[in-house]
Amino acid sequence: MQTLALPKLHRAAGEVTIPGSKSLSNRILLLAALCRGQTKVTNLLDSDDIRHMLTALKQLGVDYQLSDDRSECIVQGLAGPLASGQIETLYLGNAGTAMRPLAAALCIGSGEFELTGEDRMFERPIGDLIDALKPLGIDVEYLKDEGFPPLKINAKTLTAAPIKIDGSISSQFLTAVLMAAPLLKQAITIEVIGELVSKPYIDITLNVMQQFGVTVENQNYQRFVIDGEQQYVSPGDIQVEGDASSASYFLAAGAIGGGPVKVHGTGTASVQGDTKFANVLEQMGAKVTWSENWIEVSADGPLKAIDLDLNHIPDAAMTIAVAALFAEGTTTIRNIYNWRVKETDRIEAMATELRKLGVRVEDGLDYISVTPSKEVHGAAIDTYNDHRIAMCFSLAAFATDGVIINDPGCTAKTFPDYFERFSQISE
């Protein structure tokens, strides 16, 4: 296993342009494949999650050309559902944004498909999505554990029926149904049961669908109405925004290490809910300046602890758990149960690794509380094959020397050259 020893950091300042958004890249690629016409996607993210989507689409016969640096992709749309004449096994790594939307899209395609991935994917639920689609008459078999990938999908003609979907574990299930729904033969209604988590990701979905010409009637995120027999239409050119979750590490560095750190690629014009991370830093006492597509953060003193429900920014909220080391008082992040079903059990993992640094941590089913201590010390941080654990713990190097990140290469899921970029704004 590789390790990365971080020097003690004293200051953060500079500018960084963050890579394209994972959430947008994979949604855009899927709709570019389903739509009528050719789509030129620019600022596409090049990371493991996107490579899995691209490889799957290629296997499904979607024709595209990638530029040498893989940041531009010209996709020839199929003008309809995905199809295959033979059994296709699609390996989707640990990419939720590939597994969930492809599962729904393939149910309404034609052919037989096996959807598989890495071991952790077999522990990440998909049952609420499959259950939601059952009234349409789908044929899906769980190949290992009931409710989890790997899956076998035998696509067949479906009949329209009202859909009820549980939104309390992952918004990706609703995203998946929304994106597939316009290709059904008749109009459908989707009713959300349970608290819808990670709600801003639904705005990303509706925004991308709109850019591909499909409008959804959104009745207060409780009910969605979508006409059937629609065709997605290529917008021609589409640019992927910078990734707001990836921005969080640099913005937090600005708040912890003085700044200013200016992050280009996301701002007030962004459709990504994770831009709200900057508001949390502001509540912690940082100075935040916004433009349409950059955000700048600085601070001239210690941060203040917060106690907040961060369900709307589950990914960026992990960065707050480490920023808490630099805040006066106890920081509590609430309503984050679904951290437990992501790349790893993130509540458990964050609590374990923060404690290794000598910090006081309390954790429960759906929250984590972090109280900094004067005795913070270095430690080798295990990253559980979770890119965000590796990235957010880089900030601990502003508190102490001796921070070692185990398996730093796991950032390849969404941000392959993260540590190189981080070193450019910190010293």
Ligand X SMILES: O=C(O)C1=C[C@@H](OP(=O)(O)O)[C@@H](O)[C@H](O)C1
Chain centroid, CA 238 distance in Å: 19
Q: Please state the closest distance from residue 159 (CB atom) to ligand X, in A.
A: 27
Burial class of residue 268 (count of CB atoms within 10 Å of its CB; 0-12, 13-18, 19+): exposed
Stretch near ligand X under the rule CB under 6 A, chosen from 3-11, 134-142, 193-201, 378-386: 193-201
Rule CB under 6 A: choose which of 95, 197, 390, 392 binds ligand PEP. 95
Helices 22-34 + 48-59 axis angle, to 10: 10
Q: Verify binding: residue 270, ligand X, rule CB under 6 A.
A: no
> Residue 108 CB: number of other CB atoms within 10 A?
23
Q: Specify which residues 405 forms β-bridges with.
A: 4, 381
Smallest distance, ligand PEP to C-beta of residue 137, A: 28
Residue 233 bridge partners (DSSP):
36
Q: Which long-range contacts (CB under 8 A, 24 or more apart) does 366-370 make?
A: 366/334, 366/335, 366/336, 366/337, 367/332, 367/333, 367/334, 367/335, 367/336, 368/321, 368/332, 368/333, 368/336, 369/330, 369/331, 369/332, 369/333, 370/321, 370/324, 370/325, 370/330, 370/331, 370/332
Query: Among 414, 421, 422, 426, which residue sits at the site for ligand PEP (rule: CB under 6 A)?
Result: 414
Q: Which of 243, 296, 315, 363 is close enough to bind ligand X by CB under 6 A?
A: 315
Among 47, 97, 171, 205, binds ligand PEP (CB under 6 A): 97
Q: How far is the CB of 321 from ligand X (least distance, A)?
A: 15
Binding flag, residue 273, ligand X (CB under 6 A): no
- Rule CB under 6 A: say whether 201 interacts with ligand X: yes
Instruction: Give the residue, chosen from 261, 342, 382, 399, that forms a contact with ligand PEP under the rule CB under 6 A.
Output: 342
Candidate list 39, 175, 248, 369; residue touching ligand X; CB under 6 A: 175
The Cα–Cα gap between 298 and 235 comes to 38
Total residues interacting with ligand PEP, rule: CB under 6 A: 9
Q: Could you tell me whether strands 258-264 and 63-66 are parallel, antiparallel, or unpaired per DSSP bridges? A: unpaired
CA distance 42 to 76: 15
In whole angstroms, the minimum distance from the beta carbon of 272 to ligand X comes to: 9
- Degrees to nearest 5, angle at CA 215 with 209 and 219: 110
Q: Which amino acid is present at 228?
A: G
Residue 314 sits in the site that holds ligand X (CB under 6 A): yes
For ligand PEP, the closer CB: 95 or 349: 95
> Using an 8 Å Cβ cutoff, are 285 and 299 in contact?
yes
Residues contributing to the annotated binding site for 3-phosphoshikimate:
22-23, 27, 170-172, 198, 315, 338, 342
Which one of the spans 13-21, 50-58, 94-102, 236-244 is the region binding ligand PEP (CB under 6 A)? Answer: 94-102
Which residues carry out catalysis? Answer: 315
332 binds ligand X (CB under 6 A): no
Q: Which of 19, 20, 96, 235 binds ligand PEP (CB under 6 A)?
A: 96
- Cis-peptide, bond into residue 314, ω within 30° of zero: no
Say if residues 358 and 351 touch (Cβ distance below 8 Å). no
The one of ligand PEP, ligand X, none whose footprint includes residue 95, by CB under 5 to 8 A per kind, is: ligand PEP
Q: How far is the CB of 202 from ligand PEP (least distance, A)?
A: 14
Query: Which range, of 130-138, 171-179, 210-218, 346-354, touches ligand X by CB under 6 A?
Result: 171-179
Q: What are the structure tokens assigned to 86, written together?
A: 């033979």
CB of 318 to ligand PEP, least distance (A): 8
Interface size with ligand X, residues (CB under 6 A)? 13
Cβ atoms of 164 and 131 within 8 Å: the answer is no
Among ligand PEP, ligand X, none, residue 414 binds (CB under 5-8 Å by kind): ligand PEP
Site for ligand X contains 198 (CB under 6 A): yes
Pick 272 or 400: Cβ nearer ligand X? 272
d(CA 247, CA 397): 18
CA–CA distance, 319 with 15 (Å, rounded to integer)? 19
Figure out which of the listed residues 39, 47, 94, 97 binds ligand X, where binding follows CB under 6 A: 97
Annotated binding-site residue numbers for phosphoenolpyruvate: 22, 96, 124, 172, 346, 388, 413
The CB-side HSE value for 116 (13 A sphere, CA atoms) comes to 11
> Which x/- pattern, by CB under 6 A, does the window 369-388 give for ligand PEP?
-------------------x
**Interface residues toward ligand X, by CB under 6 A:** 23, 96-97, 170-172, 175, 197-198, 201, 314-315, 338
**Interface residues toward ligand PEP, by CB under 6 A:** 94-97, 315, 342-343, 388, 414
